[in-house]
Amino acid sequence: MPGWFVRVAPALIGAAIALGDRTARRKISEQLSRVRGRTGPVRDLLDVVRTFANFASCLTDVLARGSKNELAAEVSVDDAYVAALLASAPGIIFVTAHTAGWERLGSLLASTHRRRVTIVMQRERDPDARDLQDRVRAADGAVTILHVGDDPLGSLPLLRHLRGGGVVALQIDRVPRGMAGRTVRLFGQPGSIPEGPLRLAQLTGAPIVPVFSARTARRRYSTRVCPALHVARDADAGELDAAAQTLAGYLEAFVRAHPTQWFAFGD
């Protein structure tokens, strides 16, 4: 597509989908109400449209990699803190969410800090969409995509990766089917986050570092890195629940600050 179209069209297409798909519009409206409380119908509709427009724009930034329209993305992050974290532990578990620009984490760590990064994701329902996005995300060869499923041995590569000094990145705002979760309070209601990151930290000693990103302008992203969380090898159920709630608190704070950049479209 011509460059002008890539600049202008994504937000317009996202807005058109929001206006045309009543089911999706209702779902995002309910999500926004949970995050920031109920508002008037005009504000609600505008925020729903912004959410879809933001998602389309971010997806375009990702899919433009390797094309004639690719431009280097600017990512603002506390790099000194990240470098100190990476120097203090052989392996690190970064947890994030479906927020704007979360994919940038892997390439940033791989290119800037020379770390082997495995991104753990839930499988897309459409195999063609999954293959396309996986190819783009792993295009530079520095990032490996691992899809979670119901394989009981699926975590073994992650354990080896962490113990070998690698980085694992997972999303905590959605519990994939067949995966264990920990109950938390999220936006004043019962919720859950995946138990996997906590168990990986417990088994390997790797710290868990919450990191979330937001889109501030076209191809510009701001990243917040939260304090590292350590899970003892002998942590009991209460301690795991407390750690899960801490992660949920970081997620909640970031999403409340950027409600139209949380893309929780999945089931």
State the average pLDDT over residues 80-109: 79
Look up tokens 């280097």; give the residue. 72
Per-residue pLDDT at 152 exceeds 50: no
Contact 33, 264 (CB under 8 A): no
State the average pLDDT over residues 243-252: 96
Return the closest-CA partner of residue 97 out of 136, 60, 58, 127: 58
Q: How far apart are CA 196 and CA 208, in angstroms?
A: 11
pLDDT of residue 174: 86
Say which residue, 175 or 151, is predicted with more confidence: 175
Q: Which residues contact 114 (CB under 8 A, 6 or more apart)?
A: none
Per DSSP, the residues of 165-191 read T-EEEEE-S---TT--EEEEEETTEEE
Say which residue, 5 or 182, is predicted with more confidence: 182
Per-residue pLDDT at 255 exceeds 80: yes
Say which residue, 106 or 226, is predicted with more confidence: 226
Helices (H), the chain: 3-20, 22-36, 41-63, 79-88, 104-113, 127-137, 156-163, 196-204, 237-257
Per-residue pLDDT at 237 exceeds 70: yes
Contact 27, 67 (CB under 8 A): no
Contact 42, 49 (CB under 8 A): no
Q: Which has the minimum average pLDDT: 64-78, 104-118, 223-237? A: 64-78
| pLDDT tens track for 60-90 | 877 776 666 565 555 556 667 777 877 777 7
Per-residue pLDDT at 226 exceeds 70: yes
Strands 143-148 and 74-76, by their bridges, are unpaired
Q: How far apart are CA 7 and CA 173, in angstroms?
A: 29
